[in-house]
Structure 1
Amino acid sequence: MADITPAPASHPTDAAEVEVLRARLDELLPSAIEDLESLVRIPSLAFAGYDRAPLERSAEAVAELLRGTGLPDVRIERVADGAPAVIARRPARDGLPTVLLYAHHDVQPTGDPAAWSSDPFEPERRGERLYGRGSADDKAGVMAHVTALRLVGEELAERGIGVTVFVEGEEEAGSPTFRPFIEAFSEDLRADVIVVADSANWAVGTPALTTSLRGLVDLTVTVRSLRHAVHSGLFGGPALDALTLLSRLIATLHDEVGSVAVQGLVHAEDPAVDMPEADYRRDAGVLDGVRLAGTGPLTARLWTRPALSVLGIDATPVRDASNTLVPAARAKVSLRIAPGQEPAAAMEALTAHLLEHAPFGAEVEVTEGEQGRPYLAGDETPAMHLARSAFARSWGTEAVDTGLGGSIPFIADLLEVFPHAEVLVTGVEDPDSRAHGIDESLHLGEFAKVCLAEALLLRDAAELEDEA
């Protein structure tokens, strides 16, 4: 791989070059947003049970956009029965570095479309925001890469800097074929710097470099108390229904202040930055009067400590309820784990807790689900230096090092398959983007800054080689 050294903090013509790029971006931005809107209109869900045809259309649309950037090798690939992924590349000249740009074109389900302010798959601009499923997560990441290459792609080609774009098609569904895919196409994807555009910035107006990510384990727990349903009037009292027992079991997962009560879980160091409680309550939509759970800095509770949620319960729906005791109920439990925690150990600890706290001797069964590793960036790297410089020039303010409470488990796979690569986790979202939620949206002003920053990062990689 190429020897990468840090770029200087500034260049004699740097300010002028930035303004030239900014002016060119202003010209390109309307078409970039229109292209993003076209992507949002495609309901590209990789989850089982959904029509796969839109996912194929989405991959084709992304491939066509990347062909338009001038990359000579663009193709759609997959392994086994995995979703379609797009690889687009221009190899580096001998000895020069390659930058890999990652994003994903699949999206989360919408939930109840009627709960949205507008059709989730018909993008709508309101003020400075673009609404629609995937508008932020992560079709805006795709378009950030496309737009940056429209800005500086020709310059990179002239200098011989290698560029590869990898747009995955199943990230929201847990990236089930990610590891075999990158192993199968490792020569095409090998790079010196990997830019993962699937995270969030600190706030509108303040960029962030994500330096830690929580991992994830989830499972389904089933509680059984009766062989079959029985009349609640005739048998209720001595025998508790399974839903009540499941509720009591779930209640043991947190202590009296709301901290996770599962023994054997890791806590990482508290972050150097914190956020005002009012900001968190606003961004998370916490109702007035609802107390926050846990203790310590909010950023620690969000980024470097475990968090446990119940994502769903299967039991008799209220509309179908009769006067019978429910014999069995189950819940999906999701545990975000701190940097430094091994997923297998976390799964073992959570399973042990559930089995040990079986209420009233009820039968408890655990079915393991997904596992994903957390991520913690190392010391300052040349690629991080380049990113910070690019962010500062695009936003006009220094970037904040942040963690992310969410998980991007495939980063561990990237680091294992490409151990010499430097990974940068960046993003297009802001605290009000509501990724995965109702009324997901993208701040268009921030999107422009992301595009400019990535173009600067790529351009600086080229200048770096001129000085080597």
Structure 2
Amino acid sequence: MTDELAARITALMPRAKRDLAELVAIPSVADPRQYPPEKCREAAEWVAAAFTDAGLLDVRLELTPDGSHAVLGHRPAPPGAPTVLLYCHYDVQPPLDDAAWTSPPFTLTERDGRWYGRGTADCKGNIAMHLTALRALGDDLPVGIRFVAEGSEEQGTGGLEAYVATHPDQFRADALLICDTGNAAIGTGTATISLRGLANVTVTVDTLEGGIHSGMFGGPAPDALAALIQTLATLRDPKTGATRIDGLDCEGTWDGADYDEEQFRTDAAVLDGVRLTGTGTVADRLWARPAVTVLGIDCPPVVGSSASVPATARARVSLRIPPGTDPQDALRALTGHLTDAVPWGARITVETESSGAPFRAATTGPAYTTLDRAMTEVYGRPMAHLGQGGSIPLCNVFAETFPDAEIVLMGVEEPKCLIHAPNESVDPNEIEHMAHVEALFLRNYAARP
């Protein structure tokens, strides 16, 4: 029976490629400042039509409080059978630098056995995975299905989180497959059991009423950009580069599978001779400790800059936080640290941009047991448990709303996918294998132990 299921999935892969090509061609960036919102609507309608064709009922678009549309659908459970929620999102990150792409970002391009294009992995590849699993099963579906495709996950504006809070019955399930993560490596079936939360701020430093000539006033005149740089530098240990924020525990340890340092260097494309920052294992630094990143700085550009002492400078700072850290505590600590660190009496303003709680899954229930068996059957080895540095606030909303449900994070992504970066890609074998895993899970979960 499993061989027949695998054969059906293999036969469906050309259709999966066509699906993904059509979806990638829609630039569904949920930021109206950059892309027309009609494209997100087009992607939502494509998803609704595809999952209707795959056998779901009442597939529709629902407006959420942030203005995005969630695609919802369902298939009733047979009497006494459990229900599984399938999650994905159809919005994508902007391409960033078009010139850095080897092939057009919104054209699926096959190269060296991988499929390239924005969203091929995050998260339209998971949409193709869901469709392939459902099509392979057809009417052989002994569980109920609830389906949701989010429309603004990459923007983090919280539309679906707010919608879930006011419409919980539309999402109620025994197991929730949040398919927006992936495997530790190609060929290693993985469940993500830990997500970092975040605390993002914008920091503005002011020192002068306006820019003044550096030849006439430079020296005693306080340079706002230099003050900002000095302030930001205090967020890291000067020797190791480890995150150091007053009031936060920055020495946690990871108790799951490790992440080989050389593999990390390869996955992250670290330049030869450049040392990794921080102390402890790579897994400690990624999944068990706070991690600060300066995402951007507003200041005079090199080209076109004048011989002036900068009067103001601004930075966007992101702090990722591990399970066990409250995001409001992290915001207070980060704000306090920056405020105390600014030199020369410069004026500093720290504004909260966004925050989200970390997440840790319970892994001892029947959904994890069933998924482990499916992963083992497809990949030939037990399922790995890893953390992820990214944040998915929806997981916390689901955990609070459905405390008895099991939440599983999985999907087609792996380190070579380069999600959010130029030249994002997916390995089609991972779509095929993870569709097989999902189909096995859906078929066997009804008989869960």
Shorter-chain TM band: over 0.9
Amino acid at match of 2:179: A
Partner in structure 2 of residue 214 of structure 1: 196
Partner in structure 1 of residue 65 of structure 2: 80
Partner in structure 2 of residue 238 of structure 1: 220
Partner in structure 2 of residue 120 of structure 1: 105
Candidates 188, 198, 203, aligned match of 2:180: 198
Is residue 2:419 matched to residue 1:412? no
Partner in structure 2 of residue 7 of structure 1: none
Question: For each residue in 1:237-280, what CA deviation from the matched residue of structure 2 results, as whole angstroms up to 9, or x when unmatched?
Answer: 11231111111111000012111110222454323322222211
Note the C-alpha offset of 1:175.
Answer: 4.1
Partner in structure 2 of residue 28 of structure 1: 12
- In the TM superposition, 1:55-204 aligns within 5 A as 55-156=40-141, 159=142, 161-204=143-186
Candidates 413, 416, 439, aligned match of 1:432: 416
Q: What SS is found at the alignment partner of 1:318?
A: coil
Q: Distance in 2 between matches of 1:230 and 1:103?
A: 52
Structure 1: 5+ residue runs without aligned partners? 1-16
Q: What SS is found at the alignment partner of 1:199?
A: coil
Q: What SS is found at the alignment partner of 1:154?
A: coil
Partner in structure 2 of residue 4 of structure 1: none
Is residue 2:428 matched to residue 1:444? yes
Partner in structure 2 of residue 347 of structure 1: 331
Mean alpha-carbon deviation: is it higher for 316-325 or for 448-457? Answer: 316-325
Q: Distance in 1 between matches of 2:241 and 2:255?
A: 20
Contact between 1:74 and 1:87, CA under 8 Å: does it hold in 2? yes
Note the C-alpha offset of 1:44.
Answer: 0.3
Note the C-alpha offset of 1:188.
Answer: 1.8
Note the C-alpha offset of 1:119.
Answer: 0.5
Q: What SS is found at the alignment partner of 1:255?
A: coil
Amino acid at match of 1:184: T
Q: What SS is found at the alignment partner of 2:416?
A: coil
Question: For each residue in 1:178-201, what CA deviation from the matched residue of structure 2 results, as whole angstroms up to 9, or x when unmatched?
Answer: 222113332121111000001121
Q: What SS is found at the alignment partner of 1:301?
A: helix
Q: What SS is found at the alignment partner of 1:361?
A: coil
Q: What SS is found at the alignment partner of 1:451?
A: helix
Note the C-alpha offset of 1:94.
Answer: 4.1
Q: What SS is found at the alignment partner of 1:53?
A: helix
Candidates 264, 268, 275, aligned match of 2:247: 264
Note the C-alpha offset of 1:379.
Answer: 4.5
Amino acid at match of 1:121: F
Note the C-alpha offset of 1:96.
Answer: 2.0
Q: What SS is found at the alignment partner of 2:137?
A: helix
Partner in structure 2 of residue 276 of structure 1: 260
Amino acid at match of 1:146: L
Q: What SS is found at the alignment partner of 2:241?
A: coil
Candidates 283, 297, 310, aligned match of 1:299: 283
Question: For each residue in 1:77-123, what CA deviation from the matched residue of structure 2 results, as whole angstroms up to 9, or x when unmatched?
Answer: 11234211100101224432110000000000111111100100011
Q: What SS is found at the alignment partner of 2:324?
A: coil
Q: What SS is found at the alignment partner of 1:155?
A: coil
User: When the two structures are aligned, how many residues end up with a matched partner?
Assistant: 446
Mean alpha-carbon deviation: is it higher for 107-116 or for 46-55? Answer: 46-55
Contact between 2:70 and 2:160, CA under 8 Å: does it hold in 1? no
Amino acid at match of 1:57: E
Note the C-alpha offset of 1:73.
Answer: 1.6
Amino acid at match of 1:231: H
Note the C-alpha offset of 1:48.
Answer: 4.0
Question: For each residue in 1:183-222, what CA deviation from the matched residue of structure 2 results, as whole angstroms up to 9, or x when unmatched?
Answer: 3332121111000001121111111111111111100000
Is residue 2:33 matched to residue 1:51? no
If the length of structure 2 is used for normalisation, what is the TM-score?
0.97
Q: What SS is found at the alignment partner of 2:274?
A: coil
Question: For each residue in 1:383-440, what CA deviation from the matched residue of structure 2 results, as whole angstroms up to 9, or x when unmatched?
Answer: 1111111111111222211000111111000111122211001121111100000100
Contact between 2:105 and 2:118, CA under 8 Å: does it hold in 1? yes
Q: Distance in 1 between matches of 2:378 and 2:49?
A: 28
Contact between 2:24 and 2:106, CA under 8 Å: does it hold in 1? yes
- Closer/same/farther in 2, CA of residues 75 and 23 from structure 1, 3 Å limit: same
Q: What SS is found at the alignment partner of 2:306?
A: coil
Amino acid at match of 2:47: V
Candidates 309, 320, 336, aligned match of 1:336: 320
Contact between 2:64 and 2:70, CA under 8 Å: does it hold in 1? no
- Closer/same/farther in 2, CA of residues 180 and 276 from structure 1, 3 Å limit: closer
Amino acid at match of 1:253: L
Q: Distance in 2 between matches of 1:457 and 1:128?
A: 27
C-alpha root-mean-square deviation of aligned residues, in Å?
1.3
Amino acid at match of 2:53: G
Note the C-alpha offset of 1:230.
Answer: 0.3
Q: Distance in 2 between matches of 1:114 and 1:123?
A: 16
Is residue 2:340 matched to residue 1:356? yes
Contact between 2:188 and 2:381, CA under 8 Å: does it hold in 1? yes
Q: Distance in 2 between matches of 1:347 and 1:329?
A: 21
Mean alpha-carbon deviation: is it higher for 44-53 or for 165-174? Answer: 44-53
Q: Distance in 1 between matches of 2:169 and 2:55?
A: 21
Note the C-alpha offset of 1:452.
Answer: 0.3
Amino acid at match of 2:318: S
If the length of structure 1 is used for normalisation, what is the TM-score?
0.93
Q: Distance in 1 between matches of 2:213 and 2:304?
A: 15
Contact between 1:218 and 1:369, CA under 8 Å: does it hold in 2? yes
Q: What SS is found at the alignment partner of 2:377?
A: helix
Q: Distance in 1 between matches of 2:310 and 2:246?
A: 30
- Closer/same/farther in 2, CA of residues 358 and 81 from structure 1, 3 Å limit: closer
Q: Distance in 1 between matches of 2:286 and 2:363?
A: 22
Contact between 2:59 and 2:71, CA under 8 Å: does it hold in 1? yes
